[in-house]
Structures are given as C-alpha cells and as structure tokens.
Amino acid sequence: VGCASIWSSEYWGKKGDVPLWMYRKRLDEPKPGEPPKPVVFFVHGSSVSSRVFDLKVPGQSEWSVMDAFAYYGFDCWTMDHENYGKSGRTSGNSDIASGVEDLKVAMEVVARETGRQKFHFIGESSGALRACAYAMVALELIDRLLFAAFLYTQDG
C-alpha cells in the first residue's frame, strides 16, 4: 500500500436525547476536493458493540476488518447502537426498529462527512436484521448489502 497509513476519527450523532457514537477508518486523512471513497458501514449485532469490527490482538495482525477494508480503498464506518459501547443508555430495548432509527441518524453524519449518497452495509447477526430493515425504509441510500451470520428469529 506504499506510504498510506490508517487514519481514524470519532463522530457523534443524536437520536432525540440519545448520543450515538460513530467511528471511521480509512487510508489517510480526507483532503478537501479529493473524490470520495466508497463507504462501507458495519452494523453490529446484539451480543457485541461496534468494536468487534476493529479488533486489535497483541502479537497478531490483520484482525481488524475495518483496517482490511480501508486498505482495499473503502471509507469504513461503524457505530454503537443505543445502549451499546460508547453510545447513550436508555431504559428502552435496543431492538431492530430502534437500530433503524440509529442508522437514519448515522447516515446523515456519513453523508455530510463523505459527500456520498449511497452506502454499502455489512450486518453481522442481528446487525444483519438492522441493515435489512434500514434498507426497507431507505433503499435509495443502499449500494450493496452483505449479511453475515444472519439471525433467524423464528418469528415472522
């Protein structure tokens, strides 16, 4: 990859009173006027936070899927859904519908920061359900969807 290095930054979105933490990685810091890179947004499941996509293991390399996608030329984003990781805590349940509302907030931030209007999504476990449900309400913003370990609820 030459002299390119991984750049990262944190962002915040706001869903009502709930702060939503977002994280971004890509090769090199964005520069004004450069063409935008394709965006891939990683959507976490119900058992983990967004950090599952950016694992750092002492003595090991290449465990961060965000780093791998960044080296392939993507602008990588993820977020902690409500009640996960660094995002705000509420008394509510962070169900699939709530995750869709989280993604609506996130895509506003991503669009503003990247200039892109269409995004790739990778949903893991119930994150696949969140990404799929989001696609149902915002199909015009979807470029490609990838579902990993798609959760089967046996309900509907």
Q: What is the pTM of this model?
A: 0.90
Percent residues over pLDDT 70 in the chain: 94
Q: Is residue 6 over pLDDT 50?
A: yes
pLDDT at 56: 86
72-98 tens-digit pLDDT: 999 999 999 999 999 999 987 789 999
39-79 tens-digit pLDDT: 999 999 888 899 889 988 888 777 899 999 999 999 999 99
pLDDT band at 1 (very low <50, low <70, confident <90, very high): very low
12 bridge partner residues: 21
Q: Is residue 150 over pLDDT 90?
A: no
Q: What is the C-alpha separation between 92 and 87, in angstroms, rounded? A: 13
pLDDT at 154: 67
Mean pLDDT of 110-122: 97
22-34 tens-digit pLDDT: 999 999 999 999 9
Q: Is residue 121 over pLDDT 90?
A: yes
pLDDT at 155: 67
Q: How many CB atoms lie within 10 A of CB 54?
A: 17
pLDDT band at 156 (very low <50, low <70, confident <90, very high): low
Average pLDDT, the chain: 91
Q: What is the C-alpha separation between 106 and 41, in angstroms, rounded? A: 10
Q: Contact, 81 vs 91, CB < 8 A?
A: no
DSSP 114-141: H--S-EEEEEETHHHHHHHHHHHH-GGG
